[in-house]
Structure formats: structure tokens, C-alpha cells
Amino acid sequence: MIDRYGRDIYYLRLSVTELCNLRCRYCMPAEGVCKLRHDEMLTEDEIIRAVRAAASLGMYKVRITGGEPLVKPNILSICRRVAEVDGVTETVMTTNATRLAALARPLREAGIGRVNISLDTLNAEKYAFMTRGGTLADATNGIEAALEAGFEKVKINAVLIGGFNDDEIPALSALTLRWPVDMRFIELMPMPGDTLFGEQAYIPVSRVLEILPEAVPAAVHDGVARMYRLPGGLGNIGLISPLSNHFCGNCNRLRLTADGHLKPCLHSREEICIRGMNEEQMAEAIRQAAFLKPQQHDPLSRSARSHAARPMNQIGG
């Protein structure tokens, strides 16, 4: 599906729940979120209908995300049914990995091809602090289970936060020497209402290259990430810069929230509700959402927050 600005929109990010077993400070309020009523959420059948509608328009890549997708009781069934939709050739997931030790293999069998795992620190105390109570070993055990389960690719994503984990750039990057994973650093995005982080937290991912002069450009393509590699690396290092160098010109995605709202752009308030629609109506709404994609969102910076109407856990990061 080509949008008004000539971009091919082939990638659907599907949030299956707003709930999460962690409470990362940049993503969720400390008290968590109110559980939606069943009638406020897309049903499993509606999710599959939306994916069919998207695939009928040429959208072939689906990322299952949340909230934390692995807290959704019917997640395996959703994954299996998404992966079976005609026209969907890539079914992938973003997860905090804390439940992957038990679920990695069943997810692989259900048709998940690749997983992105969020891990911001290798220090157990810092992990507990940033996630408000999470256990680092759950996540690292999950990563090991993912590596054993035979996914086509495992990527680790860290949100780079000045004063929190910039001192761990070498240690996090060294994971690519230990495991065949890509380690990607993402700039912290100033979401509406999140006032926990001071200006020093928003640092550009170019800091990674200053700290790792031995990293060399890697001849691989990975969507919006600029890729590098350490000598002897089993995987790559990726830099994702929503603030210092936004990538709207290459945007290829639409988002669908757990409560059934299509979002043409992560950082705008525009949404289209598709709850209760049949497949044809959903396809029309998806076309409309692609039409409404802005050429670019307003620039984000330490002082210019996202205009998104929701926090990340409700959008599907």
C-alpha cells in the first residue's frame, strides 16, 4: 500500500494488550494501567480479521507487541493465527523476555520468526529500579531460551538514558561478542506526561560511537537502525535515533492498539477505531489510516514532547 508521500506501508504493529508485568519508568505509570473491559478491547477474532484486512492491502509484516504480549493468556493462539494469514510472511514479536524461558519454544512453533527483546541494563539493581521491581535473571534467562529456540534472529533493544545506562554501552555492546544477537540502542523519546527524566537523560545514540571507536559500519540493512559491528562480533550494533535524526521519510508502518484504534503516526493524536467492523470495513479504515499518515511528525527533542495521546504501553512500542 503506497501512501500519499510514496512510502510503501507494509508493516503492522499490533498491540495485543496494554498490560505488563513490569512498570518501566519511561513507559508506564507506577500504579500500572486500569484493565480495559472486554468490550473495550479487540477480540482475538477481531485481531485476526484486522490482520487479514491489512494483508489484503499488501501489508506482509506483523509485529506483535504491547504492553507485554506474553501476559496475554491467548498469545500463542493469536501468534499462530496471525502467522497463518495469507499474505503475512513475517510474524515477529517485541517482548521484555521475562516469560520467554517458558514460552520461547511454543512461540517459535506458533510461527514467530524473530524476537526483539528489551533490556536496558545488565545490573540487577538498576534493572529492578528502571522496571520498578523486575528481576534481571528472568530477562537474561529469556534471552538464552530465545537463542535456544531457533528464532531466525534475536535482537536486544536498550533505551539509552543519560545518567542511567550510558556507562553500560561497552558491556551491553559486548553481548554481541557473547551471543549471536544484534544490540540496538534507541534514544529515549519524551512521551506526554512523563516528567521523570531530566534533560541529561536525552542523549543522542551517536554517544555509542564515541565510546566504541572500534565499531565499524556493517553492510547490513535493518529498517530504521544504522548498523555497526565490533571486531569479532557475532552480531551487529544498531543505532536508532528518533530524536537526533528522525526517520519519517522511510516510515512503513501503521499501529493498531489493543482497544482497536489505528494510529497513522506514533506521535500524533489521530486515531481510527475499528472495533466491531467487518473485514471490508477494516480494510477501508486501514486505507484511510495510511492516507492520514503525515509526511513527518513534529520534531521531538528534550523539550518538545510527543503529541501522542497515550503512553507507550497503550500505543504498542
163 torsion bin: left (phi>0), alpha (psi -120 to 50), beta (else):
left
* 252 vs 22: CA distance, rounded Å: 29
Three-point CA angle 57, 61, 66, nearest 5°: 115
Residue located via cell numbers 539509552? 160
Chosen from ligand SF4, ligand SAM, none, partner binding at 159 (C-beta under 5 to 8 Å by type): ligand SAM
Q: Which stretch binds ligand SF4 (CB under 6 A): 22-30, 39-47, 81-89, 145-153?
A: 22-30
Among 9, 14, 27, 258, binds ligand SF4 (CB under 6 A): 27
Q: How far is the CB of 171 from ligand SAM (least distance, A)?
A: 18
In the numeric block, which cell numbers belong to residue 86?
A: 495469507
What is the number of the residue whose Cβ is closest to ligand SAM?
317
Q: How far is the CB of 92 from ligand SF4 (least distance, A)?
A: 15
Chosen from ligand SF4, ligand SAM, none, partner binding at 157 (C-beta under 5 to 8 Å by type): ligand SAM
DSSP bridge pairs for 157: 118, 184
In the numeric block, which cell numbers belong to residue 49?
A: 480479521
207-226: contacts with ligand SF4 (CB under 6 A): none
Torsion angles phi and psi, residue 283, rounded to 5: -60, -40
> Residue 27 interacts with ligand SAM (CB under 6 A)?
yes
* 58 vs 65: CA distance, rounded Å: 20
> Containing H/E element for 147?
helix 136-149
Q: How far is the CB of 60 from ligand SAM (least distance, A)?
A: 21
Chosen from ligand SAM, ligand SF4, none, partner binding at 28 (C-beta under 5 to 8 Å by type): ligand SF4
Cα-based distances in Å from 146 to 14, 99, 117: 21, 11, 9
Residue located via cell numbers 524476537? 115
Among 79, 224, 272, 312, binds ligand SAM (CB under 6 A): 312
Q: How far is the CB of 21 from ligand SF4 (least distance, A)?
A: 7
> Residue 254 interacts with ligand SF4 (CB under 6 A)?
no
> Residue 104 interacts with ligand SAM (CB under 6 A)?
no
* 317 vs 308: CA distance, rounded Å: 12
Among 7, 66, 201, 226, binds ligand SAM (CB under 6 A): 66
> Residue 251 interacts with ligand SAM (CB under 6 A)?
no
> Residue 176 interacts with ligand SAM (CB under 6 A)?
no
> Residue 13 interacts with ligand SF4 (CB under 6 A)?
no
> Residue 159 interacts with ligand SAM (CB under 6 A)?
yes
- Burial state string for 242-280 with b = 16 or more CB within 10 A and e = fewer than 16: bbbebebeebbbbbbbbbbbbbbbbbbebbbebeebeee
Among 9, 12, 16, 20, binds ligand SF4 (CB under 6 A): 20
Chosen from ligand SF4, ligand SAM, none, partner binding at 186 (C-beta under 5 to 8 Å by type): ligand SAM
Torsion angles phi and psi, residue 73, rounded to 5: -60, -35
Chosen from ligand SF4, ligand SAM, none, partner binding at 188 (C-beta under 5 to 8 Å by type): ligand SAM
